[in-house]
Amino acid sequence: MDLRELRYFVAVAEELHFGRAATRLHMTQPPLSRAIKQLETDLGCVLLQRSPSGVALTPAGASLYDEALTLLAQADQARTRVAAAAGTATITIGTLANSAEEVGTSLAAAFRKHHPSVHVHIREADLTDPTIGLRAGLVDVALTRTPFDTTGITTQVLRTDPVGVVLRADDPLAGRESLRLQDLDDRPWFRFPEGTDPIWQAYWSGGQPRDGLIVRTVHECIQAVLWNGTVGLTTLGHPLPEGLTAVALADMAPSSLVVAWTGTNPGPLIHSFARVAAATYSSRS
C-alpha cells in the first residue's frame, strides 16, 4: 500500500464511480481499476462493492477512507514542514477580482492551522483572466469560477451556485421571480476585452455575442448597471450594493467555485490547499 494507491482510492470513494474518478485523476479507467484491485489484495479485503451503476463502500472501505484522508494529510504536512525547514515553503494563491469573501477568513485560518510556517502570497486578477495567471506561472493555485478553458489545468469543485441577472431595483423586470435569457435580448450587456478566454466570455454573455460596455472588474460592472441600466450576471447570494437586485435565470447553467492548478500532479502545498479548501466549504454547506 502506497500513497498513490491511497489517492486513487480516495478519488473512487468520493466519486463512487470508476469512470468519474478516472476523469478526476486524469487517467484511464483500467489502470485505476487495477490499482484498487491491488490495494484490496494487499489488505486482504473488499473495499468497494461494484455494480453497473457505480460502486459503494464496504465497511472496510469506509474505515480505510477515513484513515486514508488522515495519512494523506499527514504526508502533505510532512513535505511542507521539510520545505519550511529548508526555508522554501511559499505558495501564491490567485483569487478572482473582488472575491475576498470567496476565500473567506475560515479558509485562511484553516490553512494557517495546517501550515503555520508557510508564507502565503495572494494575487487578485480582474475578470479578463479566470485562471488568474496560472498558465503564465504567476500563481501556484487559483480559487476561481467556471467555465473557462481548462486545457492543461486541473480543477476541483468546491461549490456550485445558481446564476442570476443583476438589475437596478427600479427596473421593470426586477420584481420578477425568475427570468429567461431571451427576456434580456434587447438589453445592453457587459463585455470583456478582446483576447479574454472565449469560453468564459460566452458564458457571462449568456451564450451569444452582446453589445454593451467593456468591463474588467466587478466594480465596473456594478457601476454600469447603476448608471446605464446595463445587465450582467452574478451568482445568486452574492452581496450587491443598495439599489441593485439579482433575479434568477431559469435557463442559465450554474457556475462552480473551484480550486485550479496546472498539470495533474500538484505539489504538496497545492494539494494540501485544495484539500483544506474542500473541507472548509464542505463544512459550510
Q: What is the pLDDT of residues 208-218, one digit of tens each?
A: 888 788 888 88
- Distance CA(115)–CA(113), nearest Å, equals 6
DSSP state, 91?
E
DSSP state, 146?
S
Residue 262 scores a pLDDT above 70: yes
Closest CA to 100 of 274, 192, 218: 218
pLDDT value at residue 178? 95
Beta strands in the chain (DSSP E): 48-51, 54-57, 90-96, 119-125, 141-145, 153-161, 163-168, 178-179, 232-235, 244-249, 255-262
β pairing state of 141-145 and 90-96: parallel
Share of the chain above pLDDT 90, in %: 34
Q: Which helix (H) or strand (E) holds 218?
A: helix 218-228
Q: Give residue limits of the domains in the chain.
A: 3-81, 89-156+260-284, 163-253
pLDDT value at residue 100? 47
pLDDT value at residue 101? 55
Residue 192 scores a pLDDT above 60: yes
Task: Write the CB contacts of 221 (distance below 8 Å, at least 6 apart in sequence).
Answer: 127, 166, 190, 215, 230, 232
Grid coordinates given for 109: 485560518
Grid coordinates given for 157: 469543485
What CATH number has the domain spanning 89-156+260-284? 3.40.190.10
* Fold held by 3-81: Arc Repressor Mutant, subunit A (1.10.10)
55-110: per-residue pLDDT in tens?
Answer: 999 999 999 998 988 888 777 767 666 766 655 578 899 988 655 455 567 888 99
Q: Which amino acid is it at 231?
A: V
Half-sphere exposure of 91 (CA within 13 A, CB side): 26
Architecture of domain 163-253: 3-Layer(aba) Sandwich (3.40)
221-242: per-residue pLDDT in tens?
Answer: 888 888 888 888 999 987 888 9
* CA distances in angstroms from 168 to 17, 161, 177, 234, 247, listed in the order given: 45, 21, 15, 13, 10
Tell me if domain 3-81 and domain 163-253 are identical in fold.
Answer: no
- Distance CA(31)–CA(276), nearest Å, equals 28
> Degrees (nearest 5) of the Cα angle 72, 77, 80?
130
pLDDT value at residue 176? 94
141-190: per-residue pLDDT in tens?
Answer: 999 999 999 988 999 999 899 999 999 999 999 989 999 999 998 888 88
